[in-house]
């Protein structure tokens, strides 16, 4: 008998081990629980970041409600940081999202400069963006559009008095 014949005769097609109904139900419950926990954490992180991003927007002369709108909030963040806002949409495109992330970091750098922070402050935005939002929102720093070399692509609207 050849080696391959012997191997073919001893080879058995085994299936996955049998799992009883109780173990399957427990596994399903744990999985659903972890997914719900992750969803709750994601919602909390979104709410907290939107609250503090709205404060940053108000300091920069942008309406605060924009912070609550997905993608549009990143669009405006890019614009006040001197970058084109369309990069916010390109975060959905594979490969292009890495380039968009670089532009987001550049915008965060310019936003930090406009709030009077040093250039290394962007590292906080890269590694701990939620802390970066909170820091800029509660800090006493004020927006100085001339502090950075990047022009702001957002032009705050000034109310026009109605003519009678």
Instruction: Give CA–CA dist 159/153, Å, rounded.
Output: 19
Residue 134 has pLDDT above 60, yes or no: yes
Query: Taking 70 as the threshold, does the pLDDT of residue 161 lie above it?
Result: no
pLDDT of residue 129: 93
Q: What is the pLDDT of residue 100?
A: 95
Q: Where are the domains of the chain?
A: 22-147
The sign one gets for the Cα dihedral 106, 110, 112, 116 is positive
Contacts of 162 (CB under 8 A, 6+ apart): none
pLDDT at residue 119 in the model: 87
* Overall pTM surpassing 0.95 (yes/no): no
Q: Tell me the pLDDT tens digit for each residue of 3-62.
A: 666 656 655 565 667 888 899 899 999 999 999 999 999 999 999 999 999 999 999 999
């Amino acid at each position: 008998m050849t080696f391959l014949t012997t191997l073919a005769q001893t080879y058995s097609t085994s299936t996955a081990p049998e799992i009883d109904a109780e173990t399957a139900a427990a596994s399903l419950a744990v999985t659903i629980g972890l997914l719900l926990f992750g969803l709750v954490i994601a919602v909390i992180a979104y709410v907290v970041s939107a609250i503090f991003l709205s404060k940053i927007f108000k300091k920069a002369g942008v309406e605060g409600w924009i912070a609550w709108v997905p993608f549009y909030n990143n669009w405006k963040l890019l614009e006040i940081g001197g970058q084109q806002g369309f990069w916010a949409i390109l975060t959905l495109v594979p490969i292009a999202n890495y380039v968009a992330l670089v532009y987001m970091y550049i915008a965060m750098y310019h936003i930090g400069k406009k709030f009077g922070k040093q250039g290394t402050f962007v590292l906080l935005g890269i590694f701990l963006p939620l802390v970066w939002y909170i820091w800029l929102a509660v800090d006493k720093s004020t927006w100085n559009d001339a502090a950075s070399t990047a022009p702001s692509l957002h032009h705050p609207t000034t109310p026009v008095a109605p003519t009678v």
